[in-house]
Structure 1
Amino acid sequence: MTSLKFLKTLQPIRRALPTALLLAGLTLLSGCSLFGGGSPKPKPTELQAVSGVVSAKQAWSARLGVVNFPLTLKVVASTLYAAASDGNVVAINTKTGADIWRVNVGAPIAAGVGSDGKTVAVITDLNDVVALQDGREIWRTRLTAQAYTAPLVAGERVFVLAADRSVSAFDGRSGVKLWTQQRPNEPLVLRQSGVLLAVNNTLVVGLSGRLAGLSPTSGSVLWEAPIASPRGINDVERLVDLVGDVSRAGDVVCARAFQATIGCVNAVRGNLLWSKPAAGSHGVDGDDRFIFGTETDGTVLALGRADGERAWINQGLRYRELTAPVVVGRSIAVGDFAGFVHLISRTDGSMLNRMPTDGSMIAATPVLAGNTLIAATRNGALFGFVPE
């Protein structure tokens, strides 16, 4: 097998027709490698001993269900919201791992989960946005295109970024569509989470290689800032989607453009602060000094938040198909293809510790709930780790 699993599938935009044909040959790297023609996939770096300076133990585990879509774990207060491919959506106590509620939405999940702690929203592979409260469905409405980004629930509204570059707002209580902003689209999109967040009173969205600020009440465009520009001569080479996760510090949002750059934008003024080349396929996180990211080859790096200059790199996890990082105390945490969660020093990139799960790939960027680090696996388990 020569495919690189860390790259998500490219596919044509699915509009209202569920029978839209896939373009032949556009499953990226299904039979070739970025590392040269049809050469074998590079061997993952063997794990070395870690210092154990930062210690953590497994506090609980819970069953979620198999995950084969771009899952986003959402934490609000002491509740974790998650979903499985089979349509199950769960709310879990982050201190104990016990179910608060669990419900099946009647169709496989394509994107989720979004929540403000009251309303929970997911998107099914039938293009339905489904809103839940206290484990029961309150409304569902159909989109005209598929979506791979978890809905944003904020201000009693549900915002959706679809694969046709449209952004829509729905009333959180009734599901009535309030507005849609349609942007020019490209023939290909990434089948993974994009950028959708609220910054003060601005809806910040990734549209192709640009961050855009929209009015949450009308959908009108307030500003646009380019993080990457299309290059190349064919559709695959010109793809420049922004990918989640992002790092926000005050008014500044830093994001990654798929296999192109990492850049930071002032989300109030709408101006690009800096943009640096970076070859990764997952989002970023950061602290007050650095932006952290994982590159396609498994290199973990830190860039200065102020200027984007490289601070350190860690190559001890190369080719281990890493998730995006999350800041955890004095560490950052990343998951890999073998189900390990690695803790890396924020200061110098040294390896501090690692925790095993069930041996299957970590399916989403880990999240922090209080002092509990939570990871989800492809085989459908959730694990909570806490410092000893």
Structure 2
Amino acid sequence: MNPLNWLSDEDNSEPPAELVEMASSVPARVIWSASIGDGADEQRVKLVPFVAGDRIYGASRSGTVRALEAATGRPVWSVDTELEISGGPGAGEGLVLFGTSNAEVVALEQDTGQEKWRAQVSSEVLSVPKAGRGVVVVHTIDGKLFGLDAENGAEKWVYDRSIPVLTLHGSSSPVIVDGYVICGFASGKLVMLDLQKGDLLWEITVSAPSGRSELERMVDIDGDPLVIGDVVYAVTYQGEMTAVSIQTGIVLWRRKLSSYAGMGADYGQIYVSDEADHVVSVDPGNGSALWKNKALQYRKLTAPMVLGEHVLVGDFEGYLHFLSRVDGRLEGRVRIAKSAISTPPLVIDGVVYIYADGGEMAAVTISDS
């Protein structure tokens, strides 16, 4: 979904590419499907699945949080929180974590779904809370990053980063790496903080605003930072993609690229869905483009994820597309849902988990994965 569409009731975007008949070379099959309530309920929120142990967790906009068996999709527990969930669920420290439109962060026990605590933050949460080493980290829509005690939700620290007048409707989720937290902001800044104290360790500009209008100056980091080894990668809307040394904060390379969907990676390439919904493969060592596929232009693609030799993206009509990781050619597709797939595919142990906007969750596998 183009995040600029929320600025107007009219859809002036270009028409999406039509799908052409093709013989699929990918033996994909759905091994189970289930429902997580009403899903996103046609709201622009950030709801994602996560897997911990032998369970997969998901949440709906209307407040339903469910745990399912990852292998079968059978329900383990279900909780109706009666909250407007806007971000999550996230995981860590034995918790299921989510944020709400009413500026709350809520922690449930992973085993039972019982509420452990809830905490008030400064504004709506449109990111996925993360937890590690006793700290829960959440990014709010007003540009603040909160560190909360994982035991009781008490505030440990707050990092405040001013935001531009006009921003995309969304937030980058924090990434916890060892004793650090990395997060991108609507200003085009990427920061690394000490996880326990919230102290700033480094800050870099991925893209600097340019242009005369506020619209032209938007350089939000809406996709989550991608960590590979000792390097973190980030990409902005209307800006650049950057590789940064985690240890020093030094920019290793940067290239022109605009994306709000985000990135995925394997052992040799980074994959990006750009603002025109072209899927681009980038060399992580120097930022050069290895290939680009334009066949799914304006189909409102998710961030790409990788399963075996295939790059996977979801689209606005509920299709999961398979591209070759070698040259980007389209290899096949399978329709998972009647609603859009806005959440990136989740790949765990050779299984792809899909969560569609209408609440449909499915597990997909391919025989050569």
- TM-score calculated relative to the size of structure 1: 0.88
Q: Given the alignment of the two structures, is residue 43 of structure 1 paired with residue 38 of structure 2, yes or no?
A: no
Q: 1:157 aligns with which of 135, 158, 166?
A: 135
Q: Is the 8 A contact 1:211 1:227 kept in 2?
A: yes
Deviation for aligned residue 1:321:
1.2
Q: 2:100 aligns with which of 107, 116, 124?
A: 124
Q: Given the alignment of the two structures, is residue 54 of structure 1 paired with residue 26 of structure 2, yes or no?
A: yes
Letter in 2 for 1:170: L
Deviation for aligned residue 1:184:
2.4
Q: Given the alignment of the two structures, is residue 341 of structure 1 paired with residue 320 of structure 2, yes or no?
A: yes
Give the distance between the partners of 1:195 and 1:210, measured in 2 at CA.
Answer: 13
Q: Given the alignment of the two structures, is residue 329 of structure 1 paired with residue 308 of structure 2, yes or no?
A: yes
Deviation for aligned residue 1:50:
4.2
Give the distance between the partners of 1:78 and 1:190, measured in 2 at CA.
Answer: 35
Paired residue secondary structure (2:157): strand
Give the distance between the partners of 2:8 and 2:200, measured in 1 at CA.
Answer: 35
Aligned to 2:2: 7
Count of matched residue pairs: 360
* Stretch moving more, 209-218 or 278-287: 278-287
Q: Note the residue ranges of structure 1 that are not aligned, 5 or more in a row.
A: 1-5, 11-26, 34-40
Deviation for aligned residue 1:81:
1.9
Q: 1:88 aligns with which of 43, 64, 67?
A: 64
Letter in 2 for 1:181: Y
Per-residue CA deviations over 1:128-185 (Å, capped at 9, x if unaligned) read: 1111002010111111222211111111221111122211111111111111111223
Q: Which runs of 4+ in 1 moved over 4 A?
A: none
Q: 1:288 aligns with which of 239, 251, 267?
A: 267
Q: 1:266-281 alignment to 2 at 5 Å?
A: 266-281=245-260
Aligned to 1:188: 166
Give the 3 Å change call, closer, same or farther, for CA 245–379 of structure 1 in structure 2.
same
* Stretch moving more, 121-130 or 183-192: 183-192
Deviation for aligned residue 1:244:
2.1
Aligned to 2:332: 353
Give the distance between the partners of 2:162 and 2:363, measured in 1 at CA.
Answer: 42
Q: 1:311 aligns with which of 290, 301, 310?
A: 290
Aligned to 2:53: 77
Give the distance between the partners of 2:8 and 2:275, measured in 1 at CA.
Answer: 13
Q: Is the 8 A contact 1:190 1:241 kept in 2?
A: yes
Letter in 2 for 1:150: V
Aligned to 1:65: 37
Give the distance between the partners of 2:102 and 2:173, measured in 1 at CA.
Answer: 22
Letter in 2 for 1:261: E
Give the distance between the partners of 1:142 and 1:188, measured in 2 at CA.
Answer: 25
Aligned to 1:104: 80
Give the distance between the partners of 2:308 and 2:57, measured in 1 at CA.
Answer: 22
Give the distance between the partners of 2:352 and 2:224, measured in 1 at CA.
Answer: 17
Letter in 2 for 1:98: R
Give the 3 Å change call, closer, same or farther, for CA 247–330 of structure 1 in structure 2.
farther
Q: 1:236 aligns with which of 215, 238, 253?
A: 215
Give the 3 Å change call, closer, same or farther, for CA 97–259 of structure 1 in structure 2.
farther
Q: 1:158-177 alignment to 2 at 5 Å?
A: 158-177=136-155
Give the distance between the partners of 1:254 and 1:79, measured in 2 at CA.
Answer: 29
Per-residue CA deviations over 1:309-342 (Å, capped at 9, x if unaligned) read: 1110111111211111111111111001110000
Deviation for aligned residue 1:108:
1.1
Letter in 2 for 1:7: N
Per-residue CA deviations over 1:20-66 (Å, capped at 9, x if unaligned) read: xxxxxxx4354363xxxxxxx43322223445333110100000122
Give the 3 Å change call, closer, same or farther, for CA 245–184 of structure 1 in structure 2.
closer
Deviation for aligned residue 1:213:
0.7
What is the identity percentage for the equivalent residue pairs of Structure 1 and Structure 2? 29
Give the 3 Å change call, closer, same or farther, for CA 308–379 of structure 1 in structure 2.
same
Q: Is the 8 A contact 1:262 1:275 kept in 2?
A: yes
Paired residue secondary structure (1:324): coil
Letter in 1 for 2:20: Q
